[in-house]
Amino acid sequence: NYRKSWTGIILSWTYSLLWTVPPLFGWSSYGPEGSGITCSVNWHSKDANNVSYIICLFIFCLVIPFAIIVYSYGKLLCAVRQVSSTHKGPGRGREQRVLLMVLVMVVCFLLCWLPCAAVALTATLGQPGLLTPAASIIPALLAKSSTVYSPIIYVFLNKQVSETL
């Protein structure tokens, strides 16, 4: 259904803009990350403006999306299990491939975003100087590379896609 697909795309972009535009208008700000070679939200500042934005980002851009991912993939697994139980034969293998894909996607999401969230929260709420610039490089790179993993995982773990390649 193209209408649902476009609605999902538009909602995703709108939600993304909702959380990336506020620093341009004064709720927090953008600046160099700990290493000084990349740019991100200013999570070093301890003022209430920045702290509130970082906490909101943590809740609305990590916790809530993670809950949506778990819910959506849970519904997907239930649907696959239901179809597998009505059809005899290769359904069990399909169910296991979908389960593997779901687990890999969720683990990759967490591996990409939890270190970045931990660094941002530690820098925002912890003692000044607690994190060295070097300690923030890998979490930043993991977060920035997160968009690459889902399509790769989907291609390699989806039999229909990998057979056409």
Domains of the chain in start order, with CATH, are: 2-157 (1.20.1070.10)
Mean pLDDT value across the chain = 84
What pLDDT does 7 receive?
95
- Within 8 A by CB and 6+ apart from 39, the residues are 30, 31, 32, 33
Asked if residue 50 lies in contact with residue 28, where contact means CB atoms within 8 angstroms, the answer is yes
Average of per-residue pLDDT across 60-73:
91
**For the segment 88-124, what is each residue's pLDDT rounded down to a tens digit?**
666 567 777 778 888 888 899 899 999 989 988 888 8
pLDDT, tens only, 1-43: 789 999 999 999 999 999 999 999 999 999 887 667 778 888 8
Q: Identify whether the C-beta of residue 117 lies closer than 8 Å to the C-beta of residue 66.
A: no
Distance CA 149, CA 104 (A): 10
Question: How would you label 136-146 residue by residue, b for 16+ Cβ within 10 Å and e otherwise?
Answer: bbebbebbeee
| 159: pLDDT strictly greater than 80 | no
Q: What is the pTM of this model?
A: 0.77
Q: Read off the pLDDT band of 165 (50, 70, 90).
A: low
139: confidence class by pLDDT, cuts 50, 70, 90: confident
Nearest 5 degrees, angle CA 157-CA 159-CA 164?
A: 115
Cα 85 to Cα 15, 21, 80, 88, 94: the distances in Å are: 37, 47, 9, 7, 11
